[in-house]
Structures are given as structure tokens and as C-alpha cells.
Amino acid sequence: MKPVATPSIWITVAVLAASAFGAGLLLLHPAAQGQGMPTALFWLCATALGALAVWTLRRVAALHGTRLDAVLTAGLFGLWVLYFWQLLVVAFEVPRVLLPAPSLIAQSLIDNAPKLWGDFTQTVLKAVAAGWVLGCGLGFGVAIAIDRLPFLQRGLLPLASLTSTVPLVAVAPIAVMLFGFDWQSKAAVVVLMTFFPMLISTLAGLQAAGKLERELMHSYAASYGRTLLSLRLPAATPFLFSALKVNATLALIGAIVAEFFGSPTSGLGFRISTEAARMNMPLVWGAIVVAAVTGSVAYALLAQLERRAAFWHPSIRGQ
Amino acid sequence: MATTTDLRQRVLPVAAMALAAVLIWYLGAWVTNAPGAIERVLAPAGIPWNWQDLLKATTGMERPVLPAPHQVALDFWSSLADWPVDSPRNLLYHVAVTGETTLVGFVLGTLLGLVLSVLIVHSRTLDKALLPWIVASQSVPVLAIAPIVLVILGSLGFSGLAPKAVIAMYLSFFPVTVAMVQGLRSPQVIETEMMHTYAASRWQSLWLLRLPAALPFLFPALRVGIAASLVGAMVAELPTGATAGLGARLLTGSYYGNTLAIWSALLMSALLGLALTSLVALAEHLVLRHRRQP
């Protein structure tokens, strides 16, 4: 990439302010409120605003990169997408079934807050949390247990890595059969889905400590447990956290898909599938927003925890 | 010599584990089916029974809570052998439906991922505006959007393969995009500078340097992508009330409490997943055959 001359930050700010002003003005146009047909002038303004939006993005992206700038560009892009979504969906009078405007989704989120909160407790606080903790705990425990038994390791690892090619969500109907319709069956699916990634990552992490450090522990006459606690587990933390993060997403997917196979009358997956069948799309989008925010927040929390726990590790220090 | 150590080092442990799994499965079948077997098979017969009868009854029920391995194998085999291939009773028919969706979605997703990654590598704006969203969307349960995609495409007049393939596509394009962005950036500065001294155009340096360098990154992503595409294809069959495909088979099995059908479909989807990933691994082997092992 060619080095670009640093553009003046004040021009960027001015362009941003101008585009925000224009965007606000255009929203006040009757067509953007859903009253009356959009005129040619409206389209002209919308196109001009679109060009302006691209220009602001290019300017902000060209700012010299600290971490904040990266967040700024992505955030600005997200805002523009939301804005044009709202503007065009209302102006084109896109049917609500097809794509509801963001304002409608937000309205439905507020109106159905108690319902969605019930779904959230059912799916996330019960099924996902229990399954995730149990699955990751079991994966970790089994990995530690078989760490000393090469025979078991050699036997289990190929089988465990095979499971990554198998669509494990398909066990959901079996889990429903065995554990009933309530959250226990969803938690069972989540346990199964999160167990193998955790097992594989932990075993890989336990091999991560360097030979030099291990020999040092050996020369201190450190016991197996002492070496594990003081050297190998700390060295494995990045592996553990990457599995925990991947599993957080997997657990949500597992629980939501498992609810497609049958569930009590609450739960995010239940809400999504039944409201989609009733064509109540704003609420479906609302449930998806809840799921997306949950996934992102869980990921961000774990990433933050990792930064605290493995602050000394080169992969964290490098950031 | 090498084969005997191979046998002892690899095959033996795996075989032992697989055997243990089957034993645990049998044990589970006995335990979970016992109450039902006593209530429905042994008690109505009215004659006294011992534990051998119980064992036999628990592994031979028509609708067990947990079928025994040999029952699943028999059901699996009978669905393949006793029905013509184009019958909905034959699992191969469902494999064809799901496999078609998976492959179409996978190819589309891979193409989309390739195009996106090339654009991202060449545009600073897209890199900073779009890539963070693509990465963040990894932490979002994308499968939840499946019903919406089905409704939207359905009301636009698409039905059948297209909506399912779209869902499979958007599950498989993430890994390809992220890995290819990394791969296309993997050439060293010295190599890109050499291309520069040759006055290579952007297009040439993409084709001659970046793409070959990205291949080792691409194939692991393709393996992940095709597995994700299969999951997407199966889940896409759930809310549509589709009558064909492995996912639909799972759903009907779960409606009618037909555990044997569920387990057979599960076994079949596992085999399909294995076959698809092996296909990608084979392609990787053929393409990267001439590369030096690092």
C-alpha cells in the first residue's frame, strides 16, 4: 500500500458534520416519513448523500491508524448502513414482511421487552449457560485426565477431530427425545457441541510450553502437578480462551437450532421460528438482535478476561 | 516395520476407543429402555422374566428411547437396500437433496468469499469499514437468520433450492473471507517489492504472487466452510417444512417419535459431512502436491 499524505483532520470533521446535517434534513422529507411518493429531487438528494457517505468513509479510513480510528470507520459504516436501510425501506414502501425498517425493529424490541426477556432467560441463562459451563468444564477435565495417558490421547484425538465435520446440531431431536422439551435437552446439545473443541484446544495448549521451560521445571524436581499448575496451564491460556470464545458462539447456535425441533413456549429459537411462520418480522428481527448482542457481548467479555488473565503472553502484549 | 508401529500407534488406540464408545452406547440403551421394555413388552406378556429377557427386550424395541447400535445399523442398511433410490424412504434420496444444496451453497459462498477478500485487500476503506463487521459477525449466531432468509426469498418468489443454498452460502463465506484476507497478505514485503521492481500490475501481482501464497490458507478454510455449509443446508430445511433432505428427515422423525429414523439420518449426515470434507482434503492434496513441505 502506498503511503498516503495525511489528510487534514478538520476537513474530515467538516465533511462528517455536513453529511450528518444532510442526512438529518433528508429524514425530514415527507417521503422518508412514509407520506407521499418520493420525488425526483428526493432521489437526487439521496444519491448525493450516498456519494457523500462513501466519501466520509474514505476520509475516515485514511486517518492514521490508532485503534480508535479502526473502531470509528467500522462504526461509521454501520451507522450509514442503518441510515440507508431506514431511508430506502420507508421511501420504497418495502413490505414489512420483506424487510422492516430499523425503527420498527426498535419499536418491537421495546414493545415486546418482557417476552424477549423471557426468551433470553430460557435460552441463554438456562440452556446456553449451563451447557457451555458443563461442556467446557468436561472438555477441560477430560483433557487434563488423559494428558498422562498417551494411549487414550491417541485414541480420542482422531475421533474428536472427526466430530468437527459432523453436523452436531442434528443430535437435537435425539436430545429432545431423551431429556424432554425443556431447557435440559438444549443444554445437552450445547454440551456435546462445546465438549470437543475444548478437549482439542486444551490438549493442544498443554503441548504449548517450551522444551526449555519444561526442562527447567524438571531440574527443579517439580512434580507433575506443580509443572501443570505453574508452567503448562499458564502456557495453555491462549488456547483455552480461543476455545471458550468459539464455544460461546457455538453454544448459542446449538441452543437456538435445538429449539427449532421443539421447545416450551419461550426461547429465542422458538420465538424466531414461530413468529417467522406468523410473518411478524419485526419481532423476529428483534429476537435476532437479542441473540446477536448476546453473542457479541459474551465474546467481548471473554476477550477482556483473556487480556487480564494472559496479559504476559506475546499474542496479547503485541496488541 | 513401519506398518506394525503404525498399527500400534494409531489404529489400536482408535479402535479401542470406538469399541468403548459402542459398549457405553449399549449400556445406555439398556438403562434408558429398561422401564419402557418392562412396562410394554415384558409385563403384558404375563410370564416371569429374567435379566436375559430384559436385555433382549431393551435392544429389540420398535420405538426405543435410545436404539442400540445394531438396530441403527440395520435400519440404516434397510433404508439403503430395501427401497429404490428415488423413494423418500431411501436415505440416499435425502443425501442427494441436502448434498446438492450444500455444494451449491459452498461454491457460491467460496466465490463470494474470494471476491470480498480480494476487494478488502485492495481497498483500505473496505478493509477498515467492512472487515471488522465480518469478523464481529462470527460471534453472532448467524443460523438464527435462516427463517428470515427463507421468508424474504419465499415472498420474492424463490423456493426450492435457492433459499436453502443462500443460507448454506452465508454460513460458508465467513471462513473463506477471513482466511483469504490473511492469506493474500501473507507474502513478505521483499516479495511484493520484487513484483514492484518488475513493474507488475496489481492484477499480475494478485495472480502470480498473492493467490499462490494464499492457497495454504484457503484449504483449511474450505474444510471449515463445507462443514458449515452442510449445517446450513440441514437447518434451512427445518422451518420450510421441506419434505426432502436430511434435516427434514430429522424433523419428521422427531414429530413421529421415530427414533430409529432420527439415528439413521444422523449417521447419514455424519457420513455426508465426512465425505464432503474428505473431498476438500483430496482437492488440497492434488493442488498442493508439488509444494515443498515446510
- CB count within 10 Å of CB A216 equals 13
Q: A135-144, A281-290, B76-85, B260-269 — which is least confidently predicted? A: B76-85
Cα distance from A230 to chain B (closest Cα, Å)?
30
Of A57, A156, A252, the CB nearest to B17: A156
Residue A203 has pLDDT above 70, yes or no: yes
Residue A193 has pLDDT above 50, yes or no: yes
Cα distance from B224 to chain A (closest Cα, Å)?
8
- Least Cα distance to B210 among B118, B284, B142 occurs for B118
Summarize pLDDT for A287-297 with one digit per residue, the tens.
Answer: 888 888 888 88
Q: How confident is the model at residue B104 (pLDDT cuts 50, 70, 90)?
A: very high
The reply to whether ipTM tops 0.85 is: no
Chain B residues 198-227 with a CB less than 8 Å from chain A: 223, 227
Residue B273 has pLDDT above 70, yes or no: yes
Task: Give me the phi and psi of A8, to 5 degrees please.
Answer: -65, 130
Position A1 scores a pLDDT of: 42
**Whole-number percent of chain A with pLDDT over 70:** 92
With vertex at residue A219, the alpha carbon angle to CA A218 and CA A223, rounded to the nearest 5 degrees, is: 40
Instruction: Tell me if A154 and B10 make a contact (CB, 8 A cut-off).
Output: yes
| Angstrom distances, CA of residue B201 to CA of A2, A70, B158, B184, B192 | 14, 28, 41, 16, 11
Nearest residue on chain B to A74, alpha-carbon basis:
B129
Position B33 scores a pLDDT of: 79
Report the greatest alpha carbon distance in chain B: 92
Beta strands in A132-220 (DSSP E): none
Using a CB-CB distance cutoff of 8 angstroms, which residues of chain A are in contact with residue B65? Answer: 177-178
Q: Which of A59, A63, A177 to mutate to test the interface with B (most CBs of B within 10 A)?
A: A177
Residue partners of B187: CB distance under 8 A and separation at least 6 = B209, B210, B213
Of A1, A99, A166, the CB nearest to B273: A166
Residue B293 has pLDDT above 70, yes or no: no
Residue A3 has pLDDT above 80, yes or no: no
Instruction: Tell me if A284 and B147 make a contact (CB, 8 A cut-off).
Output: yes
Please tell me the distance from the alpha carbon of residue A264 to that of residue A282, in angstroms, as a whole number: 22
Mean pLDDT of chain A: 83
Residue B136 has pLDDT above 80, yes or no: no
Using a CB-CB distance cutoff of 8 angstroms, which residues of chain A are in contact with residue B12? Answer: 155
Q: Is B265 on the interface with A (CB under 8 A)?
A: yes
Mean pLDDT of chain B: 82
Position A318 scores a pLDDT of: 60
- Of the spans A87-101, A161-175, B271-285, which averages the highest pLDDT? B271-285
Q: A25-39, A45-59, B22-36, B250-264 — which is least confidently predicted? A: A25-39
Instruction: Tell me if A164 and B227 make a contact (CB, 8 A cut-off).
Output: yes
Q: Which of B138, B140, B189, B274 to mutate to test the interface with A (most CBs of A within 10 A)?
A: B140
**Whole-number percent of chain A with pLDDT over 90:** 10
Query: What is the 3-class SS of chain B, one letter each residue?
Result: CHHHHHHHHHHHHHHHHHHHHHHHHHHHHHHHHHHHHHHHHHHHHCCCCCHHHHHHHHCCCCCCCCCCHHHHHHHHHHHHHCCCCCCCCCHHHHHHHHHHHHHHHHHHHHHHHHHHHHHHHHCHHHHHHCHHHHHHHHHCCHHHHHHHHHHHHHHCCCCCHHHHHHHHHHHHHHHHHHHHHHHHCCCCHHHHHHHHHCCCCHHHHHHHHHHHHHHHHHHHHHHHHHHHHHHHHHHHCCCCCCCCCHHHHHHHHHHCCCHHHHHHHHHHHHHHHHHHHHHHHHHHHHHCCCCCCC
Domain A110-317 sits in CATH at 1.10.3720.10
Q: How confident is the model at residue A2 (pLDDT cuts 50, 70, 90)?
A: very low
pTM for the full model? 0.81
Position A190 scores a pLDDT of: 92
Cα distance from B271 to chain A (closest Cα, Å)?
8
Summarize pLDDT for B179-235 with one digit per residue, the tens.
Answer: 888 888 888 788 888 888 988 888 888 888 888 888 888 888 898 889 889 988 888
Please tell me the distance from the alpha carbon of residue B226 to that of residue A219, in angstroms, as a whole number: 48
Position A136 scores a pLDDT of: 94
Higher-pLDDT residue of A224 and A263 is: A224
CATH class of B91-287: mainly alpha
- Are A193 and A168 in contact by the 8 Å Cβ rule? The answer is yes
- Least Cα distance to A259 among B94, B146, B233 occurs for B146
Nearest residue on chain B to A61, alpha-carbon basis:
B125
Residues of chain B with CATH 1.10.3720.10: 91-287
Instruction: Tell me if B128 and A73 make a contact (CB, 8 A cut-off).
Output: yes
Q: Which of A132, A166, A297 to mutate to test the interface with B (most CBs of B within 10 A)?
A: A166
Q: B14-28, B42-56, B108-122 — which is least confidently predicted? A: B42-56
Q: How confident is the model at residue A34 (pLDDT cuts 50, 70, 90)?
A: low
Domain ranges of chain A: 9-94, 110-317
